[in-house]
Every structure is written in structure tokens, then in C-alpha cells.
Amino acid sequence: MVNLESAFKDALWDADKPFDINDNDMHLLFDAINDGLFQNKLGRDVSKFTLKASLIPSGPRKYRGMEHALAAFTTGCCRGTANELIVIRHPNGANFYVAVCALIHEMIHMFDFHFGPMGKQLDKYGTVAMYNFNYPFADPRTGRIMPPGSNANIMNAALARFKDIRQLPDELVDKIKNPSKNDGRPRQYQLPGARIQPGRDPDTGELVPQSAPFPKKYAIDDLDGFYDVHGDFFMNIARLVNTYGFGVTDVFTKETPLKMTKTYESGSASSNPAEILLRFFKSDEHKGCDYKDKDNWFVEFT
């Protein structure tokens, strides 16, 4: 039995209290969130593990750069590639609430992959490519970081194997050519692509599938063009999740809430987030709640 009383009672409302999640915590939280938010529609057999941020730069190359993230859901570029759900451990930079919100964020992507446009696009084309817009460019050969901006967006297009930036949707080309129109908000796009010669991972020696965009002009489109993985599908679920008091956002920034917020439910006078979570994490065979008052409550996983 794992008792998370101290985590929910203290770290949830204390943004300064560090929380170092481990693999066992992650599996238990996944089950609770899967039941409470996703009606147990997400397969429990997905590979789930944590990575320590400080060790990522010297670890397997496919995880390089993740030390700056909170969590990740990886799908691969080809149909049938194994999925991974990862939480990045920042023992001095995250609390329990932030870790839970990050895990929920990635589970929304997992839900999208199985039931939304993300998965439908992969099913239709068999292979997809990815393009990061308004992200820093990290040279995979040297590790040199180029800050976000027009030049980084052009380099990221080259890294995604576009032959010409004019293949990008007109909206993105316009923002690259006219920086004043660019709000600088990071966006991740998935798009139909073609499978190319697999490359060998220099760390493991395994052959890794690789993809490239089609040699054509793309448009913004959920299925046949650029699909914003943090667009309407993602945000509609995030807004519903946040009615419980969470703070799931498309991109984690300094404005992202670090603590549980009070919420009001229709027909209920309660504004206590602990009481709302008590109803949210309803008792069943593997978890339960004990609520006495706003200062004395906990969630228990068995």
C-alpha cells in the first residue's frame, strides 16, 4: 500500500516543496487518472517509466533534449511502433501537483493517439513526420542550441527533412518571413509523411524507423495536413480536466499554475478542491479517499 497523504496534503498546495516521483508512483497515478478521467480506455500495458533529468544528456540519444521537458508520450513515426509514457524527474524543480498535471497532459496525447486525429492520421498514412515550430533548434550533431525565432524555425524545417520552407502551410511561412506576426508560442505539428531508410541508433545499434514529409505543399488540416497536437482536440479535454481544479496547459510556462485551484461545480456549493478530488477519485478496488476536512484528507492507493 502506498499512502500519498503528505504529497496531496502538502505538495499539492506548496509550489516550493519538491517532489521526486518514482516509477511505482507513476504506475499508481496512471491507474487512478485512467479511471477518473478516461474511463479506463487507455491500455495499462503501455511502457511507463521515469527519467532523471540530470542523466538524460549522457543517456540514449533518442531521449536527448527531454531534460527540459516535464513528461512525454512517444509514438514513433510508423504504425505499430511501441508507445512510451515518460515522466522527467526534476527533484528540485517540480512539486506533486505539477508532476500529476504533466502526466495528465501526456495521457491526453495518448487518448488522442488511440481515439483522435493523431491516431487517425497515422492509420491512414502508415507513417507520419513531425515539425516543431517556435522551438529552439538543437543541432543533433553538436548539441548547439539556437534560440526560437525565424532562423530556428528554418533549421527545424531542415531537421524535419523539408526540402524548402515553402512546403510549410502559408500561415507558418508568413510568420517566418514576418516575425512581427509571430507570437512565439511553441507548436508541435504531426503531418503525413513517407518512411525512409531506417537509421542505426549509435548508442544501441538498433535500426530506428525514420520518416520525411512528402515533397508537396502542406496546409493546416487535422488529417491530411499539419495537425496541431495541442489544438482543439487537446484543449477541449484539458479544459474539462481543469474544471476539477487541475492546471493542464498546452505549453508549460511561468504563467502555468503551480497549485490546485478552487473550483465550483454546477449545483454544488463546494469550492474545496480536496472535496472535489474526493468525488473525482471515487473508491474502487485499487484506490480510495478519506476526507475529514480541508486540512485533513488524503488519497490512498492499494
* Cβ-contact 230, 48 below 8 angstroms: no
Q: Compute the Cα dihedral for 99, 100, 104, 107 and give only its sign.
A: positive
Query: What pLDDT, on the 0 to 100 scale, is given for residue 213?
Result: 97
Cα–Cα dist 218/298, whole Å: 50
* Cβ-contact 70, 102 below 8 angstroms: yes
What is the chain written as a DSSP string?
-EE-HHIIIIITT-TTS-----HHHHHHHHHHHHHHHHTT-S-TTSEEEEEEGGGGGGS-GGGTTGGG-SEEEE--SBTTPPPEEEEEE-TTT--HHHHHHHHHHHHHHHHHHHHSHHHHHHHHHSBEEEEEESS-EE-TTT--EE-SSHHHHHHHHHHTT-S-GGGS-HHHHHHHH-GGG-----EEEEEEEEEEEEEE-TTT--EEEEEEE-SS---B-TTTSBEETTSHHHHHHHHHHHTTT----SS--TTS--S------TT-----HHHHHHHHS--BTTEEEEEEETTEEEEEE-
CA-CA-CA-CA dihedral for 270, 282, 242, 272, to nearest 10: 20
What's phi and psi for 2, nearest 5 deg? -110, 120
Cα–Cα dist 53/31, whole Å: 24
Take residue 221 and report the three cell numbers written for it.
Answer: 488540416
List per-residue pLDDT tens for the chain, 302 residues long. 233 333 334 334 344 555 677 788 788 888 888 887 888 899 999 999 988 888 888 777 778 778 888 899 999 899 988 899 999 988 776 677 788 889 999 999 999 999 999 999 999 999 999 999 999 998 877 768 899 999 999 999 999 999 999 999 999 999 999 999 999 999 999 999 999 988 887 777 778 888 999 999 999 999 999 999 999 999 999 998 887 778 899 998 878 877 766 544 444 444 454 555 555 554 444 444 455 555 555 555 44
Query: What pLDDT, on the 0 to 100 scale, is given for residue 246?
Result: 82
Query: What pLDDT, on the 0 to 100 scale, is given for residue 176?
Result: 96
On whether the pTM is more than 0.85, the answer is: no
Angle at the Cα of 70 (from 159 to 144), degrees rounded to 5?
A: 35
* Cβ-contact 77, 130 below 8 angstroms: yes
Query: What pLDDT, on the 0 to 100 scale, is given for residue 1?
Result: 29
Query: What pLDDT, on the 0 to 100 scale, is given for residue 59?
Result: 79
Pick from 194, 205, 161, 206: which is nearest to 78 by CA?
A: 194
